[in-house]
Structure 1
């Protein structure tokens, strides 16, 4: 005689206060993992790159291992990571510019000074000014001296508030890309 074994109740897990069968959570996670795995890996790699990697060493490794598996993806991550940015608004803006195909050199030296973002071909310097750092009178005066020197040397200086960069990075990036492309064309 064969007796039917009653089905076991599924394991229940709590997710943000909502109970759900374990199998459902697992299958949803698998679908989500497949669908968003690349994006999640890119974000995690960018975070890790920003924290622990020397950009020059990483770039050299990408060049040395050009044909190896993963090298193109690593170069793409490096391009979008904005590793040399000094602050979070600069990192956000650097990524936005890179995604638009217009990566600028971050914290690049120009004569006796350096700019937050620099395009040497267009001779454009982009400055992201935060209130904490630029509220000191000495820093403020030095910024004006630097801007005057850059303008005398033929550079265009674009200044943006850190708040605006964080609130509307896409609008700011579009404005910069337009200025860079227009100036590159006029300098040919």
Structure 2
């Protein structure tokens, strides 16, 4: 990860939630650069670094990341899109209580009385339209080539179509004529 990526991400988080008093980082080179030190001092953030291979400090963070990855994989394998799977995995991690019986949202907002269970946005149901009309598509990997004839079988959403090519292949395409 690059230092500029870290700065952009931190700026985005700060713009959304405000400045933190301190941030705990690992010893990765992108966090240890002088540029990050200057950036955090400008924002008034105290940068703390964890001790390498020290389980009491790194273990909970690593376990949290592992749980997030496991949930992401679970939701993705259930057939959800990557965006929807990520949204649900993050939401699940935010509402799962810890040992102190508080969720991440309750800890973050310092509010143990609020119930943050119903925070998932309503899922959008795509209406699949069966079309069976003639159309044109661009062949891959040479997108510079001209348009080829096809039969448009389904419109999945505003941008995605399932097609049958003139050679008998079933494909998904974003742009159609």
The TM-score by the shorter chain falls in which range? under 0.3
TM-score, length basis structure 2: 0.22
Between Structure 1 and Structure 2, the one with more helix by share is 1
Scaled by the length of structure 1, what TM-score is found? 0.21
